[in-house]
Amino acid sequence: MNVLIAYATNSGGTYFAAQTVKKVLEAKKFSVTTAEVEDLSPHDFKKYDLIILGSCSWNYKDLEGQLPKSFEEFVKNTPANSLQNKKCAVFGLGDSEYLYFCGAVGILEKYIQKNGGTPITDSLRIDGYYKHEKENNEKLEKWVHSLPL
């Protein structure tokens, strides 16, 4: 199975989280590509069986709990049904001190639904990645192990 981890990050945490997800999947012998959404086109989805979307939550146009700009634009430029027949999963990094904790996760769940993807698990919301890096990486590992693959 070919897996794509498509992510957006502003301060690097989601990059490191994506590496953790990749490491666990590779240990299970999956072929895994990680890429920032700004280096991807939604047409790239065609090459993969499982698409894992990862994002921080941010302020965008003065609204909290949003995708960062790069993911916002990627979503906007996605042709209809780009996730048809694709297994999908979402993880998000956020901070529970914000009103819309991990708001980007809900946006990505709707994106998957709208584009015909099939969610295979509940989304994972990570609180304060850098503050509790070890525990948060363990949460990510546990989540990946729980994926029905």
Ligand X SMILES: Cc1cc2nc3c(=O)[nH]c(=O)nc-3n(C[C@H](O)[C@H](O)[C@H](O)COP(=O)(O)O)c2cc1C
Is residue 79 close enough to count as binding ligand X by CB under 6 A?
no
Residue nearest to ligand X (CB): 94
Is residue 36 close enough to count as binding ligand X by CB under 6 A?
no
DSSP 24: H
Is residue 60 close enough to count as binding ligand X by CB under 6 A?
no
- Chain-centroid distance of CA 63 in Å reads 20
**Sign (positive/negative) of CA torsion 113, 73, 127, 59?**
negative
Tell me how many residues contact ligand X (CB under 6 A): 21
Distance CA 127, CA 133 (A): 10
3-state secondary structure of 104: helix
Is residue 94 close enough to count as binding ligand X by CB under 6 A?
yes
Instruction: State the minimum distance, in angstroms, from the CB of residue 129 to ligand X.
Output: 4
Q: Which helix (H) or strand (E) holds 60?
A: strand 58-60
Instruction: State the minimum distance, in angstroms, from the CB of residue 132 to ligand X.
Output: 11
Which member of 24, 48, 53, 57 binds ligand X (CB under 6 A)?
57
Measure the CA angle with vertex 68, ends 16 and 85; round to 5°: 80
Query: What token pair was written down for 47?
Result: 């090459």
Is residue 18 close enough to count as binding ligand X by CB under 6 A?
no
Is residue 13 close enough to count as binding ligand X by CB under 6 A?
yes
User: Which has the closest alpha carbon to 128: 71, 56, 66, 24?
Assistant: 56
Instruction: State the minimum distance, in angstroms, from the CB of residue 66 to ligand X.
Output: 7
Is residue 98 close enough to count as binding ligand X by CB under 6 A?
yes
Q: Residues in the site for ligand X, rule: CB under 6 A?
A: 9-14, 56-59, 64-65, 93-95, 98, 100-103, 129
